[in-house]
Amino acid sequence: MPNVISYTIDVDLENGISEPRNERMTRIKLPIPKEYGSGWATGSTQEEAVRHLLERVGSLAKPATDMPTFTECWEKWFLIKMGVNLSPCTMSNYERIAKNRLLPFFGDKLVDQITPDDIQMYFNSIMNLSKSYGIQSRAILRGIFSRAERMGYISNNPMRFEYERSKKQSKKVVLQDDDLISLINQLDKLSGCDYLYACFLCFTALRRGEILGLQWTDIDFEHHTINVRNNVIYPDGSNEPIEKEPKDGSFGVVHLHSELLKRIKPYKRSIGYVIRGPQSDSMSPVSRSSFTKMWNRIRKTVDLKGATSHCFRATYATMMNAHCDHVDIKALQGALRHKTPDLAIKVYTKENENKTQKAEMEYDRWIQSQLKQTS
pLDDT (tens, 9 = 90+) of the chain, 375 residues, equals 333 334 444 544 444 444 555 555 556 777 777 666 666 777 777 777 777 777 766 665 445 457 899 999 999 999 888 777 677 778 888 988 999 999 999 988 999 999 988 999 998 888 888 778 888 899 999 999 999 999 989 988 998 887 666 555 556 788 888 899 999 999 999 999 999 999 999 999 899 999 999 999 999 999 999 999 888 888 766 788 888 877 665 678 889 999 999 999 999 998 899 998 766 567 888 988 899 999 999 999 999 988 989 889 888 888 888 888 777 777 777 777 777 766 334 443 455 566 677 788 888 888 988 888 887
Residue 255 and residue 136 in one domain: no
Residue 141 and residue 182 in one domain: no
Residue 148 and residue 55 in one domain: no
Angle at 338 between CA 299 and CA 268, to 5 degrees: 50
Positive/negative CA dihedral, 199, 202, 205, 208: positive
Residue 56 and residue 71 in one domain: no
Residue 246 and residue 363 in one domain: yes
Number of Cβ within a 10 Å radius of residue 189: 12
Residue 170 falls inside a structural domain: no
Residue 167 falls inside a structural domain: no
- Looking at the 3D structure of the chain, how many domains does it have? 3
Residue 150 and residue 199 in one domain: no
333-363 b/e with 16+ CB inside 10 Å = b?
A: bbbbbbeeeeeebeeeeebeeebbebbbbbb
Domain limits for position 47 = 5-60
Residue 132 falls inside a structural domain: yes
Residue 142 and residue 271 in one domain: no
Angle at 29 between CA 25 and CA 30, to 5 degrees: 130
pLDDT at res. 318: 84
Residue 70 falls inside a structural domain: yes
Residue 141 falls inside a structural domain: yes
Q: Which among 73, 86, 66, 64 has a CA at the least distance from the CA of 233?
A: 86
Residue 246 and residue 318 in one domain: yes
In this prediction the pTM is 0.60
Q: Bridge partners of 215? A: 273
Residue 263 falls inside a structural domain: yes
Residue 171 falls inside a structural domain: no
Residue 254 and residue 237 in one domain: yes
pLDDT at res. 156: 87
What's 85's domain CATH number? 1.10.150.130
Residue 133 and residue 241 in one domain: no
Q: Which of 160, 190, 221 is the last residue of a domain?
A: 160
pLDDT at res. 35: 61
Residue 21 and residue 140 in one domain: no
Residue 206 and residue 271 in one domain: yes
Q: Which of 128, 160, 192 is the last residue of a domain?
A: 160
Residue 215 falls inside a structural domain: yes
Q: Which amino acid is at 63?
A: P
What's 288's domain CATH number? 1.10.443
